[in-house]
Amino acid sequence: MAIQVTFVRRAVLASALLSVLTPAFADSATDLDSVVVTATRTAQTQDQTLSAVTVIDRADIERLQPSSLADLLRGTPGLQLANNGGPGKSTSVFLRGTESDHVLVLIDGIKIGSATLGTAALQDIPVEQVERIEIVRGPFSSLYGSEAIGGVIQIFTRRPEGAFVPSFMLGVGSYGHLSGSAGLAGKVGNGWYALEASHDQTDGINACRVGALEAGAGCFADQPDKDGYRNNALTLQGGYRFDEQWDADARAFRSEGHNWYDGSYSDYAESATQVVGGRVHYRPSQALTFTLSLGTSGDFSKDYLHGIYKDRFDTHRDVGSLQADAAVWGGVLTGGFDWQRDAVDSTTTYAVDSRINRGVFAQWQQTFGRQSLQASVRRDDNSQFGGKNTGSLLWGWDFTQTLRLTASYGTAFKAPTFNELYYPYYGNPNLSPEKSRNIELGLRGSYGWGYWSLNAFRNNVSDLITYDAATGAPGNVEDARIRGAEAVLSGHVAGWLVTGTATWLDPRDESNGYHGNLLPRRARQSGRVDLDRSFGDFSIGGTWYAAGRRYDDLANRHELGGYATTDLRVAYAITRELKVQLALNNAFAKNYETAWYYNQPGRNAMLTLRYQPAL
């Protein structure tokens, strides 16, 4: 299980070199004091976390001008995407080389995703509804239960920043792209509120390359037409502080997608992602806090072929959590209970259409001088597969004022989906959860000019669920060994904000028959560089993203070529409140695929007008 000695030596040498080169950068601050809650289920600054964390805030979103959530996430450390044909089409996330259903996705603390497919419809979440994203990499089942093998992505919806803040956005672009949003947010006395509505539509591109039918690939159909997409979304939330001890908040989010695509069974889908929830905080003293959270989420889908209704798959998830955080013995002790009920309501009849999971967890965080410790354990009891224990241990050492060494070990699991368990003539009700064991070593530095980090990890995933030809049903028949490293460098150089990320992966299938093959749709090398600079009211920037070759199948027969894209952007502040932006995406019209036989957009532009009062 030890990480290769050669790599560790190179990582340490690179870290030392970075620390030597820091005087070459201009002396300007990069903020690492933003509060992160996903890594520990408690509030701490990003600099204090012992995990590998990436934070994207609203200022980053407006500076980068992404056309979708996928474009925003693409190239963040350890994260790769596969998309089936452009805007609004099915998008898979691979975090640290794990499977697309090994990533836990939360919206405002509530788990989302389909209980039948096992994945979240990220393509249906518009960036205009997003205030902030926290991406925590590594195993986190000991805090969250199932799915957090590769990590956790938590999306926070828009919040108020002042007493009364109206805002709007209007955009027009290539492929008949129209986008708009409007919002109201503010604070009244001890209360606050926020309302955000958005609309996005595009004529799209031809999602599936002609020849898919003959090749038996992609959509298995030849339909050379434009495949459009339309999305409407609404967020409503508010909160109130009753006194120093009690406060509460509630929120509702719904996003509806209308998606045209190529296919022989269905070619149009209506989908929705919905979240409703609330929290109550009680602080009997400064050293003790209780949090009660209740909520429900839904993933809804209807499929059509040539306008004729085909089927419906709706899944509902009800969740509840009680958590206590106590400051004792100079540390923080956290304990809690999670309850979750998944249910399927579908035109397809499942032998079992609901299940309940109960989880009990505890965590200890402590700082001893220059050393920090985070330990957590959890027990999940599921009505379908029984009990599962997970745990993690993270350690950090600030051996100088600017350098921190971290090491961790953790276990995680992924519960089988309803399709894998009970889909008619396919499911296997005897499936066990997928399991993983992860070890990680990190080194990072924080300076006045910015910061850098290096993380190396090895993740052994066992009992992966895939089709077993011997039984004609899914089985726990695969094992994977994923080794990798991530590097991040961010700071200011001669007035430019420069952020660079690089990921190296060795994701191997260790199963019988595929021994040593690369796992599908994961490039072994990927990286991203962002450059931005302001000149008074005028700003310019660009993003360069590159990914190496990879394969679309377990047998490694169908190769997807490596590619690089360049996005350019400019913005001008007409007034302090009004800004015009122009983005040119895939500026050099690179032709590439992230999934076999599925096209990606060529060169395209977006002109946007934004209004928000300056605070």
Among residues 88, 167, 174, 198, which one has the least CA distance to residue 607? Answer: 174
pLDDT digits (tens, 9 = 90+) for 173-200: 999 999 999 999 999 999 999 999 999 9
DSSP string, 535-568: ETTEEEEEEEEEE--EESSTTS-SEE--EEEEEE
Q: How does residue 507 score in pLDDT terms, banded at 50, 70 and 90?
A: very high
- For residue 333, is pLDDT > 90? yes
> Counting beta carbons within 10 angstroms of the beta carbon of residue 318, is it exposed (0 to 12), middle (13 to 18) or buried (19 or more)?
middle
Let me know: does 135 contact 486? Beta carbons within 8 Å: no
pLDDT digits (tens, 9 = 90+) for 443-452: 999 988 899 9
Among residues 203, 184, 181, 204, which one has the least CA distance to residue 192? Answer: 184
CA 457, CA 472: separation in Å to the nearest integer?
Answer: 35
> What are residue 220's phi and psi, to 5 degrees?
60, 35
**pLDDT for 2:** 38
pLDDT digits (tens, 9 = 90+) for 405-448: 999 999 999 999 999 999 999 999 999 999 999 999 999 999 88
**pLDDT for 79:** 96
Q: What is the mean pLDDT of the segment spanning 542-563? A: 95
- What percent of the chain is modeled with pLDDT above 90? 86
Number of other residues whose CB lies within 10 A of the CB of residue 308: 9
**pLDDT for 571:** 98
**pLDDT for 160:** 80
What are the chain's domains? Answer: 5-170+326-611 (2.40.170.20)
Q: What is the mean pLDDT of the segment spanning 274-297? A: 97
**pLDDT for 22:** 32
| Pair of tokens at residue 386 | 């029984």
CA 230, CA 203: separation in Å to the nearest integer?
Answer: 9
DSSP string, 429-485: TTPPPEEEEEEEEEEEEE-SSEEEEEEEEEEEEEEEEEEETTTTEEEEEEEEEEEEE
CA 299, CA 318: separation in Å to the nearest integer?
Answer: 12
Pairing mode, strands 103-107 and 151-157 = parallel
Instruction: Identify which has the larger pLDDT, 25 or 169.
Output: 169
Question: Please, what is the average pLDDT of the chain?
Answer: 92
Least confident window among 18-32, 51-65, 589-603: 18-32
pLDDT digits (tens, 9 = 90+) for 353-401: 999 999 999 999 999 999 999 999 999 999 988 899 999 999 999 999 9
Strand partners, 257: 231, 271
Among residues 588, 505, 580, 581, which one has the least CA distance to residue 544? Answer: 588
CA 381, CA 388: separation in Å to the nearest integer?
Answer: 6
Instruction: Identify which has the larger pLDDT, 6 or 61.
Output: 61
**pLDDT for 222:** 93
**pLDDT for 31:** 57
pLDDT digits (tens, 9 = 90+) for 241-274: 999 999 999 999 999 999 999 999 999 999 999 9
- What percent of the chain is modeled with pLDDT above 70? 94
- For residue 1, is pLDDT > 70? no
Q: Which residue has the tokens 């990879």?
A: 550
**pLDDT for 468:** 77
pLDDT digits (tens, 9 = 90+) for 143-171: 999 999 999 999 999 988 778 999 999 99
- For residue 5, is pLDDT > 50? no
**pLDDT for 473:** 85
Q: What is the mean pLDDT of the segment spanning 313-338? A: 97
Among residues 397, 574, 487, which one has the least CA distance to residue 17? Answer: 487
CA 181, CA 179: separation in Å to the nearest integer?
Answer: 7
Q: How does residue 477 score in pLDDT terms, banded at 50, 70 and 90?
A: confident
Q: How does residue 28 score in pLDDT terms, banded at 50, 70 and 90?
A: very low
Distance of CA 516 to the CA centre of its chain: 28
Q: How does residue 32 score in pLDDT terms, banded at 50, 70 and 90?
A: low
Q: How does residue 570 score in pLDDT terms, banded at 50, 70 and 90?
A: very high
Distance of CA 11 to the CA centre of its chain: 26
